[in-house]
C-alpha cells in the first residue's frame, strides 16, 4: 500500500474517499472548514444522523460542494484523553485506532485511494507531538487495512494508496515524512508477524521459518545463523531438543543480529517458536489444538522487531534468538518423567509435555545471557494462566529488573499495547524446584504464569531480564470487542513495543 503526505487544498484532493478523524463532543468544530466547502451539506448530514464522534463509529457522507473527493467518511475517536495509558499515549492510540477504523470502513466500501485529513486546528486531538501523531495515523492505516488472503482463491483487492493530508496551515517537512515512513515500517513489520502466525502449520514449520529468516536477513543486512539438531547437540541445548523429538521436522535455533558500528547497548530478544503444539504425549483436547499454529507468536514478533531495527538503523546491537520446534506425539516423543539437561547445566524433570515453551526458552535464554546483553526480553505464548488472569486485552510482564520492566510497560503504552506487571515472589520458584532434579517444568495450576516465569529466571545468568507472556493477546479467536486495528487471528503484538524500547 502506497503511503504519502499531501499538502494540497481540499478542493484539489483527488481520492475516492476522504477520512476525517473527530473527537467526541467537537465534531462540528473540527469539521468547520470542510463544512464550508460543502456548502453546509456535511453539517446537515451529521445533524440528521446524530453522529457524535463516539469511538470506532463511522459515517459516510456524499456531500456537494468544492471538495475533490466524492465521499467523506467521518470517524469517531471518542474522548481521546481517556484510556488506560498516559494522556499523551491515550491520544496517540485514539488517533491510531480511528485511522484504522476509517481505513477498514473504506476498504469495506471497495475504495482504492483514500485521503486522511489531519485537522491540526482541532486542539482536542492534535495538542502536541505532531510527528508522533502522524506516525499513529500511518500505523493505523496499515494495520486497519491488513487482511490475510494468501489462501483465498478469489479476493477483492484492498486499498492501494493512502494520502495523509496536512491542511494548509502546516508545512510539509522532512520530519513529517520521516514520521509517516516510520509508522509504515513498523506497521508493515507487524503485518509480517501476523502473516507468519496466520500461516498454516504445513507451510510454516521450523525449517521454513528459518528459510524465511535467512531471506529477510539478507535483504535487510542482518547477520543470520541457524543451528539444526547436530549443532544443538554441540551447543548443549538438551531441553529444546527434547521438545522436538516427536516431530519429523528438525528443530532449529535461529539467530538474527543487527550490529551497528558503534552500538550503544546490546538487547537480546528471545522468542518462543512452537510452530504447532499438540501438547505432545500430554495431549491437548482437540478444540484446544485448533489455533496452536499461533504458539510461535513470540518468535514471529522477534522477526518483525529485527526487521524494523535494521530498517530504522537503531543505534543498538540487537540479537533475535528464536527456538523453532514442533511439539508432537510419536514413538520418539518426550515422555513425562524424563529428565533433560539445559545449556546452563541445570536438570529439569518433565512433568507435563504440554509445558514445553519454558523448556525451549531455557536453552535460548542461557545462550543469550552468555552474550552479555544489557537486557534480555523474552516473548512467549506461555501459559493459559496468563489469559485467565488478564482476559484478552493485556499481556503479563514479570522479570528481575523493575527499571527495565517499567521501560517495557512504557514502550507498550506508546504502541497502544497494554502490559501489566504480575508479582514474582520467591515462593513461585520454590514450587518449581524438583525432587530428583534442579527444576521441574510444572508446579501446579495456581499462579501458573508466575511459576513459569520463575522457572525462566533460572536461565538468564543474572542478567537484567523481562518476560512477556503474550498468550492473552497474540491471537484473537472471537470478534467481540475487537478493535479496528486488530484483526481476527494473529495480532502481531509485541513488535511495536520492542521497537519503541529500542528507540525511546
Q: Which of the residues are catalytic?
A: 284, 358
Q: Are 394 and 472 in contact (CB under 8 A)?
A: yes
CA distance 405 to 467: 9
For residue 318, the cross-strand partners are: 258, 267
Backbone torsions φ then ψ of 428, nearest 5 degrees: -65, -40
Q: Are 307 and 358 in contact (CB under 8 A)?
A: no
Cell numbers for 266: 546490546
Q: Are 297 and 247 in contact (CB under 8 A)?
A: no
Q: In sequence order, which residues have a C-beta less than 8 Å from that of residue 315 and are 6 or more positions away?
A: 260, 262, 263, 264
The position carrying cell 507472556 is: 469
Backbone torsions φ then ψ of 205, nearest 5 degrees: -135, 180
For residue 73, the cross-strand partners are: 19, 60
Q: In sequence order, which residues have a C-beta less than 8 Å from that of residue 73 and are 6 or more positions away?
A: 17, 18, 19, 20, 58, 59, 60, 61, 102, 105, 106
Q: Are 114 and 122 in contact (CB under 8 A)?
A: no
Q: In 3D, which of 464, 467, 439, 228 has the Cα closest to residue 344?
A: 439
Q: In 3D, which of 200, 296, 300, 209 has the Cα closest to residue 250?
A: 209
Q: Give CA separation, 42 vs 72, 196, 202, 389, in Å.
A: 9, 43, 51, 46
One-character DSSP codes across 27-61: HHHHTHHHHHHTTTHHHHHHHHHT----TT-EEEE
Alpha-helical (H) ranges within 25-173 are 27-30, 32-37, 41-49, 87-108, 130-145
Provide the 8-state DSSP code for 354: T
Pairing of strands 347-349, 339-341: antiparallel
Amino acid at each position: 500500500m502506497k503511503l504519502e503526505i499531501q499538502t494540497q487544498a481540499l478542493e484539489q484532493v483527488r481520492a475516492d474517499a476522504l477520512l476525517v478523524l473527530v473527537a467526541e463532543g467537537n465534531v462540528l468544530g473540527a469539521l468547520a472548514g470542510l463544512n464550508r466547502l460543502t456548502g453546509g451539506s456535511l453539517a446537515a448530514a451529521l445533524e440528521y444522523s446524530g453522529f457524535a464522534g463516539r469511538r470506532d463509529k463511522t459515517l459516510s457522507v456524499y456531500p456537494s460542494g468544492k471538495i475533490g473527493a466524492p465521499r467523506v467518511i467521518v470517524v469517531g475517536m471518542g474522548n481521546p484523553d481517556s484510556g488506560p495509558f498516559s494522556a499523551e499515549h491515550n491520544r496517540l492510540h485514539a488517533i491510531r485506532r480511528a485511522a484504522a477504523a476509517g481505513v477498514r470502513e473504506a476498504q469495506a466500501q471497495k475504495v482504492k485511494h483514500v485521503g486522511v485529513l489531519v485537522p491540526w486546528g482541532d486542539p482536542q486531538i492534535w495538542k502536541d507531538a505532531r510527528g508522533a501523531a502522524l506516525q499513529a495515523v500511518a500505523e493505523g492505516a496499515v494495520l486497519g487495512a491488513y487482511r490475510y488472503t494468501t489462501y483465498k482463491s478469489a479476493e477483492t483487492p484492498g486499498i492501494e494508496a493512502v494520502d495523509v493530508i496536512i491542511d494548509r496551515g502546516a508545512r510539509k517537512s522532512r520530519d513529517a515524512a520521516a514520521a509517516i515512513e516510520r509508522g509504515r515500517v513498523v506497521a508493515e513489520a507487524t503485518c509480517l508477524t501476523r502473516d507468519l502466525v496466520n500461516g498454516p502449520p504445513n507451510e510454516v514449520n521450523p525449517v521454513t521459518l528459518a528459510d524465511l529468516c535467512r531471506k529477510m536477513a539478507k535483504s535487510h543486512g542482518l547477520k543470520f545463523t541457524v543451528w539444526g539438531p547436530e549443532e544443538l547437540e554441540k551447543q548443549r541445548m538438551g531441553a529444546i531438543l527434547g521438545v522436538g523429538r516427536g516431530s519429523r521436522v528438525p528443530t532449529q535455533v535461529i539467530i538474527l543480529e543487527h550490529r551497528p558500528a558503534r552500538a550503544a547497548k546490546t538487547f537480546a530478544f528471545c522468542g518462543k517458536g512452537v510452530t504447532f503444539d499438540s501438547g505432545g504425549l500430554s495431549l491437548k483436547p482437540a478444540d484446544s489444538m485448533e489455533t496452536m499454529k499461533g504458539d510461535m507468536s513470540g518468535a514471529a514478533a522477534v522477526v518483525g522487531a529485527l526487521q524494523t531495527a535494521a530498517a530504522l538503523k537503531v543505534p543498538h546491537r540487537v540479537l533475535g534468538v528464536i527456538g523453532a520446534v514442533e511439539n508432537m506425539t510419536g514413538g520418539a516423543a518426550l515422555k513425562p518423567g524424563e529428565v533433560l539437561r539445559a545449556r546452563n547445566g541445570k536438570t529439569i524433570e518433565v512433568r507435563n509435555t504440554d509445558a514445553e515453551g519454558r523448556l525451549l526458552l531455557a536453552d535460548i535464554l542461557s545462550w543469550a545471557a552468555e552474550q552479555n546483553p544489557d537486557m534480555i526480553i523474552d516473548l512467549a505464548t506461555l501459559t493459559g494462566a496468563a489469559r485467565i488472569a488478564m482476559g484478552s486485552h493485556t499481556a503479563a510482564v514479570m522479570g528481575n529488573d523493575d527499571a527495565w520492566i517499567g521501560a517495557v510497560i512504557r514502550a507498550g503504552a506508546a504502541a497502544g499495547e497494554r502490559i501489566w506487571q504480575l508479582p514474582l515472589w520467591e515462593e513461585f520458584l520454590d514450587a518449581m524446584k524438583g525432587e530428583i532434579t534442579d527444576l521441574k517444568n510444572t508446579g501446579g495450576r495456581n499462579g501458573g504464569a508466575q511459576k513459569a516465569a520463575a522457572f525462566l529466571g533460572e536461565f538468564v545468568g543474572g542478567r537484567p531480564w523481562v518476560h512477556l507472556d503474550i498468550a492473552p493477546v497474540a491471537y484473537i479467536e472471537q470478534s467481540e470487542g475487537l478493535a479496528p486495528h486488530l484483526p481476527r487471528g494473529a495480532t502481531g503484538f509485541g513488535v511495536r513495543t520492542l521497537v519503541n524500547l529500542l528507540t525511546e
